[in-house]
Structure 1
């Protein structure tokens, strides 16, 4: 784990979902490949993932088809692709190692917990039904609510707004370069979860820790190093 700074006055933790809370990115890649094949598209999956991870479903479809899709058409295509993803991942659903334990310990330290994801409401409901978090995050903002996708900061800023937390008082947990950049643009610190990318790909001056999974954070007493803001 990278040496962590000592952020002060932390109010809230904001988690990306895919690849950060749940170990889903390989199944997203598989579903993109199946979806592209069904539509007669020849794509390089790694390149598509690099260009789209963290962007909203509509943004992804416009990137894939390389044309300006109407919202209704984009939504219909998104529904097809994400149904494939859920069918693939559902039978083998898994969290990123240690996430639920970390979530519970963060709650016990009176931190506000939120989710900011490019995933749509169907994928959010799918993830939450499998994770069975209790209680649910204080705020959940998805990619189908009208906000631009990452690396724009809007999704994270909306999560903070709904939790009544300052940007400077939030730490974002992210597994993708666009998400790490979105945290920087939002004025938030970040923890890089290297489930899908290397530490070098997730580097930044605002990144206070770099880990493979949440067990590393728990074993390093990361939460205990935070100065949690008091109301």
Structure 2
């Protein structure tokens, strides 16, 4: 099937940020006296929007203004922790630049909010920038619902069936399936078995593997 658009999740897919999200959850819940199993919380929330995450954490229908204040606090902790050691997932910028050069539309579909998006792009300094960016604070439901990926495809002007999603989390892999898109599993925070599916066309540790296997060349051909 012809591929015209590549859509990237952000956390754990473009940037190696998931350990620092886990650490920020630990600090945030400590401040608020909430006892949690962090791996279990991450399993239930990774890929969901900030408001959805806070309602999951506190197990109540947190009003949106209260949830937004919580999100601001939690994500500020995350950015403070990650800033000194900010790291991309290996080979990402080169891979994205190569995709641009070959004529693919490049999009980002993340549950992260505009502040985390600005933080990531400020450090990545991508050149060129993506054709479309969709964030988790735009009123769309989070993953595993497909809305974020479908909106990214719409903004790029590419049919969903002609898109490949790059994802590191089970909810994101499922969102790609529901969107009618193929997926590449980026196994930075989950095992290949957790990111499997009939629509998954590759499973890699980072983008160096895709570059070495001529993945883009084969799509372009």
- The 5 A counterparts of 1:175-214 are 175-214=168-207
Unaligned runs of 5+ in 1: 1-7
CA distance in 1, matches of 2:50, 2:208: 31
Match of 2:14 among 11, 18, 21: 21
**SS of aligned partner of 2:111:** coil
- Partner residue of 2:25 out of 12, 24, 32: 32
- Tell me the SS of whatever aligns to 2:43: helix
Provide TM-score, normalisation by structure 2: 0.99
2:54 aligned with 1:64: no
Q: CA deviation at 1:136?
A: 1.1
Report the counterpart of residue 122 of structure 1 in structure 2.
115
CA contact (8 A) 2:97 2:128 kept: no
Q: Distance in 2 between matches of 1:133 and 1:121?
A: 16
Partner of 1:45: 38
5+ residue gaps, structure 2 = none
Match of 2:152 among 156, 159, 177: 159
1:93 equivalenced with 2:83 (yes/no): no
Matched positions, count: 221
Could you list the per-position Cα deviations for residues 153-212 of structure 1 after superposition, in whole angstroms to 9, with x for gaps in the alignment? 000000000011000010000000000000000000000000000000000000000000
- The CA distance in 1 between the partners of 2:59 and 2:138, in whole Å, is 22
Moved over 6 A (4+): none
The 1-side partners of 2:91 and 2:156 are apart by: 24
Aligned mate of 1:79, from 72, 76, 95: 72
| TM-score normalised to structure 1 length | 0.95
Q: Which has the higher contact order (CA 8 A, sep 6+)?
A: 1
Tell me the SS of whatever aligns to 2:136. coil
